[in-house]
Chain A
Amino acid sequence: MRPFTYERATSAEDALNRHDGDAYYLGGGTNLVDLMRLGVETPARIVDVAHLPYDQVQLNPDGGVLIGAAVTNSALAADRTVREGHPMLAQAVLAGASGQIRNMATVGGNLLQRTRCSYFQDIAKPCNKRDPGSGCPAIEGEHHNLAILGHSQACVATHPSDMAVALAALDALVHIRGRAGARVVPIEDFYRLPDDAPERDTVLDPGDLITAVEVPLLGMPSRYRKVRERASFAFALVSIAASLDVVGGLVRDVRLALGGVAHRPWRARRAEEALRGAPATPDAFRAAADAELAEAEPLRDNAYKVPLARNLIVQTLTELEETS
């Protein structure tokens, strides 16, 4: 272990003041501490923000919710407002990790998980995300569970969070406090594609602190479905957060986001566009899925994710249509 200083922030201001640009904020520690043990992250200074007063889920007047960044994953999944108004969010949280980890992990930390790509986690190997410019062995190596969409020559990693996939479908807003004050970033703009700078997962600047995630009212049925290699405690091969509003057999509104397929939660805008106003039928769902996946560029060993994502979109929308 390398020596580091540990400080507990007493307020957002205090946290910002303590952050020297290279410090790491600590939430539940369920990912950061693992990465420190592996030598992947080597912070000299840790500022604990898990005890800041952002541990509430509040109902907004418009019917949306404001989720504090320090709310644990377990508390979020158990929250009645969330379970009733945004079931896909509660389901997504419960599909991730294990009970013990969810008890520790925070909403803010969940958003900032690093990829579980094997090469990223092994400091004896090259990885552009961990060590920019060192190369990406995953492109020719082991990548059966890596990206099919939006990847680059520099990085084919996927984002591991389930919760963030639901938030992407929900048009969530990330509340951030930074040196220049407070700002709100739509979650789709919050995450980056790897391009030629895969070391940056998000648009956060050094010292930026996530204080809350705002989820607008959804008002239609939704669900989260995750396909993985075992029934619990495994990252998604492909997951889907979906919501569907059908009136008179036609799709009035739809939300679709995919997990496990890209460097960020993948909002399926093309599929949504194809579906709005279209008949709510399996054929239309399939055509929409195909429209979204037309730009997929699978690697040597992950082409199965294309039909998997397509089937999952069709299956989930069909189930939503049948129950709506």
Chain B
Amino acid sequence: MTERLESREKVTGAARYAFEYPVENVAYAAAVQASVGRGEVLSVDIEAAQRLPGVLAVLSHENAPRVDSEPDGELALFQSRTVSYRGQFVAAVIGETLETAREAARLVRVEYAAEDPDVRLRTDHPGLYKPDKVNPVFPADTELGEPEAAFTDSAVRVDVTYTTPAEHNNPMEPHTTLALWDKDGSLLLYDSTQGASSVQSTIAKVFGLDPTQVRVIAPHVGGGFGSKGSPRPNVVLAAMGARVTGRPVKFAVPRQQMFATTGYRTPTVQRFRLGADPDGRLNAILHDVFEQTSTVREFAEQTATPTRTMYQAPNRRTSHRLVALDVPTPSWMRAPGETPGMYALESVMDELAVVTGVDPVELRVRNDTDREPESGLPFSSRNLVACLQEGADRFGWAGRDPAPGVRREGRRLVGTGVAASTYPAYMQPGRAIARAEPDGTFTVRIAAADIGTGARTALTLIAAETLKEDIDRVTVEIGDSAFPRASVAGGSSGTASWGTAVVRACESLRGRLNGEVPPEGLEASADTSAEVKNRDEYARHAFGAQFAEVEVDADTAEICVRRMLGVFAVGRVLNPMTARSQFIGGMTMGIGMALMEESVMDGEFGDYLNRDLAQYHVPSCADVRDVDAFWVEESDPHLNPMGSKGIGEIGIVGAAAAVGNAVHHATGVRVRDLPITPARLLPHL
């Protein structure tokens, strides 16, 4: 149990975030958003804005420096007249103060040739197409056996469609950049990012620089949930503004503007067909997904991929169909793919349990598999069944009456539900440097990111263990692209990827330590590219089981999650304290997904309407009564030197299904469209 090393700095406000770096002569940016959902900018009238005292520059497609948009069309700021979605940045003001910049941005008059935006995802949209791949590199469609025929011939059939809404990541800290150009043409960025190295290389490309000319500093990041996994327009805007004005420029995206410009989870429509024998043994699984992308850049969420991993069935199919709408580009949000996909799979498994009369825990055990069903690869470790069993024991699942809608406590209906979780154990190549200092301390450097996960603490534990030193003698420095290149904090791969580089660097240093450390210190580095490339072929995934108990007011359809319990199998847990926080944080986000999170698309105007935290509901403390997480012992030699699997995302996977299944058990009503609000549930009670 190690407390977060920077916890004192964070709670006392000493930890610096991107907006807080004191820089002399700094100027501020404010952006102008397109007020049409699709069309062209005809003209930009900046006269009134420029008249405002303190306005330094007004940027639009008419005068902005040219940049290379190849890496990501969303970064092609002010490069064309085209408006691809409402809320897209079409102009910006740089001012002496934030207030001046914002007021001037309001005074910029943009004329458009507007067209009606096409913003509604539907399964009969003529523009639906099969993407070449889904995020990051999975095939869009897969098929084994004769799924259609096997489904038709199955004794038990379930054929249902679920929908999940658009959801926004909403980290506490908005996307923020402070940009400074040096006289020598190099660019310094204090940025709120999940990956300093990737911002460095992407922004270098955008501005036609050598990566060595760009430095990105991000020691503390106030959350990201995937939305800071790639640079956003804020980085380009700040850098562009700084170049044009010759001043350092700060830009923090206001919360309302985040709903258009910093990514979100695509809405999905998912048709599931399960064919099974009367005992619930699966014979056919068909999972067909419909989702959206933008006209700017393709993002295809890998929603059906967990279905390829979870349960045995000889006949199976998954498919993804995408339509490019006049909407902001969707992107990564905590467990992209697994989160919406496992919501649907674990809900339909519950429906199959109800139809067959097989206990939902037993149904999952019955369909467990020791090889990944579609790849045929052996699992490096798979302890789904152990999680289900330990979770059932801890939760008190035994003796559960499966009948839905029969447990009343006064006016309240009570029910329980279970769902499985899974998330891949990814690993990315990276580098690290370890130094022995002459005073007997050690310093490890790597351009990793701690977005609130506890990564800095975990890496310090890993370094100390490898060096066989006390943790007090080891400092791990992260969040700076000047340090050895590291992968993004994404795909729950941070600790595995960075930790391996840290272990190898520390091992190398230990090998060279021979008595006294020279005055200049001793240094060793590591590059894990070859190690990552040459791993044996295994299906590597974490698993888990989540249990929820809900009460539903029969008069009002208010839902309260009384308790929630997760048990996970994630290899070796490196720091129980921060690991538990990751699990219960993910589960809490899952409660939000189940019951309240929904970005509402306005059909007429084409933007997400509920664009602040008063209107976009995430769980409050009062919604989270009793959430706890445990893990089973799991020893897996095929992962990495630490024996760990990623833990940042699996907590949200399956959580919404566990809650939804409990709501069904309580009420007998199956709401297949998230979130399950009183408006959706009450008409059926």
Q: A residues engaging B (CB < 8 A)? A: 1-2, 38-39, 116, 118-119, 122, 124-125, 137, 140-142, 144, 227, 229-234, 237, 301-304, 307-308, 311-312, 314-315
Q: Are A142 and B600 in contact (CB under 8 A)?
A: yes
Q: Are A230 and B596 in contact (CB under 8 A)?
A: yes
Q: Which residues of B have CB within 8 Å of A314?
A: 555
Q: Which residues of A have CB within 8 Å of B99?
A: 1
Q: Give the shortest distance, in Å, between B415 (CB) and chain A (any CB).
A: 18
Q: Which residues of A have CB within 8 Å of B557?
A: 308
| In the complex, B677 has a CB within 8 A of chain A | yes
Q: Which residues of B have CB within 8 Å of A2?
A: 103
Q: Are B621 and A232 in contact (CB under 8 A)?
A: yes
A264 to B623, CA, bound (A): 28
Q: Are A230 and B623 in contact (CB under 8 A)?
A: yes
| In the complex, B512 has a CB within 8 A of chain A | no
What are 7 A-B contacts defined by CB distance under 8 Å? A39-B106, A141-B609, A142-B610, A229-B595, A229-B677, A232-B623, A315-B411
Q: Are B678 and A230 in contact (CB under 8 A)?
A: no
Q: Which of B58-66, B227-235, B481-489, B611-619 contacts A (4 or more CB under 8 A)?
A: B611-619
| In the complex, B35 has a CB within 8 A of chain A | yes
Q: Are B615 and A116 in contact (CB under 8 A)?
A: yes
B411, B558, B604, B622: which contacts A137 (Cβ < 8 A)?
Answer: B604
Q: Are B679 and A124 in contact (CB under 8 A)?
A: no
A39 to B106, CA, bound (A): 9
Q: Are A1 and B103 in contact (CB under 8 A)?
A: yes
A304 to B677, CA, bound (A): 11
Given contacts A2-B103, A308-B556, A311-B555, contact A137 B679 (CB under 8 A): no
| In the complex, B436 has a CB within 8 A of chain A | no
Q: Are B678 and A308 in contact (CB under 8 A)?
A: yes
Given contacts A227-B678, A304-B682, A308-B682, contact A118 B609 (CB under 8 A): yes
Q: Give the shortest distance, in Å, between B167 (CB) and chain A (any CB).
A: 15
Q: Are A142 and B602 in contact (CB under 8 A)?
A: yes
Q: Nearest residue in B to A42 (C-beta to C-beta)?
A: B106
B102, B411, B602, B615: which contacts A1 (Cβ < 8 A)?
Answer: B102
Q: Which residues of B have CB within 8 Å of A118?
A: 600, 609-610, 615
Q: Are B103 and A231 in contact (CB under 8 A)?
A: no
A137, A140, A229, A312: which contacts B596 (Cβ < 8 A)?
Answer: A229
Q: Which residues of A have CB within 8 Å of B103?
A: 1-2
A237 to B609, CA, bound (A): 18
A141, A234, A308: which contacts B603 (Cβ < 8 A)?
Answer: A141
Q: Give the shortest distance, in Å, between A319 (CB) and chain B (any CB).
A: 9
Q: Nearest residue in A to B411 (C-beta to C-beta)?
A: A315
Q: Are B678 and A229 in contact (CB under 8 A)?
A: yes
A227 to B682, CA, bound (A): 12
Sample of 5 more A-B contacts, CB < 8 Å, known A124-B35, A227-B678, A315-B411:
A118-B610, A141-B604, A142-B610, A232-B620, A304-B678
Q: Nearest residue in A to B100 (C-beta to C-beta)?
A: A1
Q: Which residues of A have CB within 8 Å of B617?
A: 229-230, 234
Q: Nearest residue in A to B601 (C-beta to C-beta)?
A: A142
Q: Nearest residue in B to A145 (C-beta to C-beta)?
A: B679
CB proximity to A under 8 Å, residues B56-114: 99, 102-103, 106
Given contacts A1-B103, A2-B103, A141-B603, contact A231 B679 (CB under 8 A): no
Q: Nearest residue in A to B623 (C-beta to C-beta)?
A: A231
| In the complex, B605 has a CB within 8 A of chain A | yes
Q: Which residues of A have CB within 8 Å of B33?
A: 124
Q: Nearest residue in B to A234 (C-beta to C-beta)?
A: B617
A303 to B682, CA, bound (A): 10
Which 4 residue pairs spanning A and B have beta carbons closest together? A231-B622, A311-B555, A1-B99, A232-B622
| In the complex, B683 has a CB within 8 A of chain A | yes
Q: Are B679 and A304 in contact (CB under 8 A)?
A: yes
Q: Which residues of B have CB within 8 Å of A232?
A: 620-623
Q: Give the shortest distance, in Å, between B91 (CB) and chain A (any CB).
A: 14
Q: Are B556 and A227 in contact (CB under 8 A)?
A: yes
Given contacts A116-B615, A141-B603, contact A227 B679 (CB under 8 A): no
| In the complex, B474 has a CB within 8 A of chain A | no
Given contacts A118-B610, A301-B679, contact A227 B558 (CB under 8 A): yes
Q: Are A304 and B556 in contact (CB under 8 A)?
A: no
| In the complex, B560 has a CB within 8 A of chain A | yes
Q: Which residues of A have CB within 8 Å of B679?
A: 144, 237, 301-302, 304
Q: Are A140 and B620 in contact (CB under 8 A)?
A: no
Q: Give the shortest distance, in Å, between B480 (CB) and chain A (any CB).
A: 34
Residue with the highest number of chain B CB atoms closer than 10 Å, among A230, A302, A308: A230
Q: Which residues of B have CB within 8 Å of A227?
A: 556, 558, 678
A17 to B560, CA, bound (A): 51
Q: Nearest residue in B to A310 (C-beta to C-beta)?
A: B555
A137 to B603, CA, bound (A): 10
A234 to B603, CA, bound (A): 24
A311 to B555, CA, bound (A): 5
Q: Give the shortest distance, in Å, between B603 (CB) and chain A (any CB).
A: 7
Q: Which residues of B have CB within 8 Å of A315?
A: 411, 555-556
Residue with the highest number of chain A CB atoms closer than 10 Å, among B35, B256, B678: B678
Q: Are B556 and A137 in contact (CB under 8 A)?
A: no
Q: Which residues of A have CB within 8 Å of B622?
A: 230-232
A140 to B682, CA, bound (A): 22
Q: Which residues of A have CB within 8 Å of B682?
A: 304, 307-308
A1 to B100, CA, bound (A): 7
A189 to B305, CA, bound (A): 60
Q: Are A137 and B678 in contact (CB under 8 A)?
A: no
Q: Give the shortest distance, in Å, between A139 (CB) and chain B (any CB).
A: 11
Q: Which residues of B have CB within 8 Å of A137?
A: 602, 604-605
CB proximity to A under 8 Å, residues B589-635: 595-596, 600, 602-605, 609-611, 614-615, 617, 619-623
Q: Which residues of B have CB within 8 Å of A39?
A: 106
Q: Nearest residue in A to B86 (C-beta to C-beta)?
A: A124
B556, B603, B614: which contacts A312 (Cβ < 8 A)?
Answer: B556
Q: Nearest residue in A to B621 (C-beta to C-beta)?
A: A232
Q: Give the shortest distance, in Å, between B360 (CB) and chain A (any CB).
A: 27
A233 to B621, CA, bound (A): 10
A124, A233, A237: which contacts B620 (Cβ < 8 A)?
Answer: A233
Given contacts A1-B103, A118-B610, A118-B615, contact A230 B600 (CB under 8 A): no
Q: Nearest residue in A to B615 (C-beta to C-beta)?
A: A118
CB proximity to A under 8 Å, residues B139-172: none
A124 to B610, CA, bound (A): 14
Q: Which residues of A have CB within 8 Å of B621?
A: 232
Q: Which residues of A have CB within 8 Å of B604?
A: 137, 140-141
Q: Give the shortest distance, in Å, between A38 (CB) and chain B (any CB).
A: 8
Q: Give the shortest distance, in Å, between B440 (CB) and chain A (any CB).
A: 47
Q: Give the shortest distance, in Å, between A243 (CB) and chain B (any CB).
A: 19
Q: Nearest residue in A to B680 (C-beta to C-beta)?
A: A304
